[in-house]
Amino acid sequence: MTKTMNDILGLDEAKCREIVDIKEKYIKGELTFEEAREIILQRFDSVTPQEFAFGEQMLKDDGIDDETMHEKMDDIIRLFDGVMEREHLELPEGHPIRSFMEENQIILGTIAEMKELLAGKFIKNRWLEVYDRLKEYIKHITRKHNQLFPYLEQKGFDRPTLIMWTFDDHVKKAILRSARYLDMDKEEAFLKMQPEVIEKIEDIIFKETRVLYPTSMELLSEEEFREMRIGEEEVGFANMEAPKGFLPPEKTEWSSGGEPSFMKDFSALLSKYHMGAGTDTEMDVAIGKLTLAQINLIYRHLPIDLTFVDENDIVKFYTDTPVRVFSRSAGVIGRKVQNCHPREILPVVNRILGSFKSGEKDTAEFFINKPGKQIFVNYIAVRDENGVYRGCLETMQDVEHIRSLGNKPQSAPVWTGSKADGGTEVEAETAEKEGDEGNTLEITGDTTLHRALQTYPYLKEFLLQLSPKYKPLSNPALFAMMSRVADFRTIAAKGGFTEEELLGKIKEEITKRNNG
């Protein structure tokens, strides 16, 4: 893998080897920081980001483990301060690297605001606004993991991405922990944590700017960046609108209402082998007959997330349901599953997969508790009719809502709807009684669009006028699919709003209509 990376970068391997030897001697304690720094200043007029990054990859081959590299990385970067070249990148609108850099500039403005707030009196509302933006920044990190890292790993650039993933994870945890302190009114603990949050964000931006982005530009082609661009909207952008440029002409996206490209590709493959005429041709499945279009619709309507990893630990498939437990994008397809997880949980992932391959176990189940959510995760060994391991199926589902149903009074229906919607007599009667009491419904983040439109049918038109990102609602097929499963928390994120912002606008519209 290293050879592939060096071939692409065209580096002076002797120089890289010398750089690595200095790093390695410092890591092993054979050189002090001052001694290593002095040698670097004497030996090199300049070191490119690509040479520095290639050195990280070579250290992996020399047996320096990830834990040690993570602990020493900040010091190693400081060793090359003043020697490592800075590259100014001029890129067109929509280029993935330009979008990453623009998001960083926005968040640096937020960091400057945080420093001002720390110098004054504590005002919770201003900090809440700041943390709305910081939580948005997690989209930047997620898109980097799902879109950029897979392309780099294909070039053999897997050590730096793994190390950076750990730093990213620390940033996310610091942001979310601070946000919890703020929500719980733990002012002292919150303020005490802010210097750490600022330092971690500034540090990751420094690493991205000085090493990741310049090396990415050298390793990846324009065609690969354009491919990467296709899946970016699926994750979303941090504190900025989705850029309009750098899209390949053949792009078809979920929001356009067109046939997804993977369905077209599969259709072409079926035709090549005379197995069908397209996505509407019925195929024999284990029990019954389904078209490819029906199969994909079924997957999109499942109330759980599915991911399939093959026997070689390669991610082959995931369901693109409108509501997901965790964000992901098509960049994970074809990627080692180990590269899709933070380093600290890799031992657990490998232990589960190892037990499946050995035949020791067939399932592994556990819960992940998040604020307002309880996520049930189930890993299932997939074996063929001969018992041979063929892969692993991962299922995820937020079961908090399901658990809450058990707390409802026995007399209350679990679901309400009109008779036309297929509700029972009792359910329909309950819905009618709710309508008799003023035809009102309290809309929350968990309310589905379908449920809201039963009481407030004008909200569909209101959403279409509110943001161009809600254009898919005008497509009857997509609307029929989305409205029953998409809640307002998801709809807010799709439109670039916070949940509170969207619910506030909706309540204003309802009040205006009622008073009018």
Task: State the angle between helix axes of 488-495 and 499-515 in degrees (0 to 180), rounded to the nearest 10.
Answer: 110
With vertex at residue 203, the alpha carbon angle to CA 199 and CA 204, rounded to the nearest 5 degrees, is: 125
Secondary structure (3-state) at 487 = strand
The neighbouring-strand residues paired with 370 are 373
Backbone angles phi, psi at 137, to 5 degrees: -60, -20
- Residue 464, CA distances (Å) to 211, 355, 362, 493 in order: 42, 50, 47, 15
208-262 pLDDT, tens digit per residue, is 988 889 888 988 999 899 988 887 887 889 999 989 888 765 544 433 344 444 4
What one-character DSSP code corresponds to residue 438? T
Taken as a whole, the chain contains a residue count of 516
Strands in 234-327 per DSSP E? 282-284, 289-291, 305-310, 315-318
User: Which pLDDT belongs to residue 109?
Assistant: 93
Alpha-carbon distance of 44 to 207, in angstroms, equals: 21
The answer to whether the beta carbons of residues 441 and 433 sit under 8 Å apart is no
Backbone angles phi, psi at 312, to 5 degrees: -100, 15
What CATH number was assigned to the domain covering residues 96-235? 1.20.120.520
Residues of the chain with pLDDT under 50: 1-4, 251-262, 272-274, 277, 409-439
Question: Would you state the structure tokens that stand for residue 249, as one six-digit string?
Answer: 């002409």
The whole model's pTM is what? Answer: 0.51
Closest alpha carbon to 371 in 445, 455, 476: 445
What one-character DSSP code corresponds to residue 241? P
What one-character DSSP code corresponds to residue 314? B
Task: State the angle between helix axes of 66-79 and 33-43 in degrees (0 to 180), rounded to the nearest 10.
Answer: 60
Question: Could you give the residue range(s) of every CATH 1.20.120.520 domain in the chain?
Answer: 96-235
The answer to whether the beta carbons of residues 77 and 210 sit under 8 Å apart is yes
Q: Which CATH architecture has domain 295-403?
A: 2-Layer Sandwich (3.30)
User: Which pLDDT belongs to residue 61?
Assistant: 63
Alpha-carbon distance of 80 to 210, in angstroms, equals: 11
The answer to whether the beta carbons of residues 4 and 155 sit under 8 Å apart is yes
Number of Cβ within 10 Å of residue 100's Cβ equals 22
| Cβ-based burial of 96 (10 A; exposed 0-12, middle 13-18, buried ≥19) | buried
Number of Cβ within 10 Å of residue 315's Cβ equals 22
What one-character DSSP code corresponds to residue 56? H
Backbone angles phi, psi at 86, to 5 degrees: -105, 135
User: Which pLDDT belongs to residue 137?
Assistant: 94
Alpha-carbon distance of 508 to 512, in angstroms, equals: 6
What one-character DSSP code corresponds to residue 226? H
User: Which pLDDT belongs to residue 100?
Assistant: 95
- Residue 1, CA distances (Å) to 154, 161, 340 in order: 9, 14, 18
User: Which pLDDT belongs to residue 15?
Assistant: 81
Alpha-carbon distance of 172 to 183, in angstroms, equals: 16
Question: Could you give the residue range(s) of every CATH 3.30.450.20 domain in the chain?
Answer: 295-403
The answer to whether the beta carbons of residues 108 and 203 sit under 8 Å apart is no
Count how many Cα atoms sit within 13 Å of the Cα of residue 286 in the half-sphere of its side chain.
2
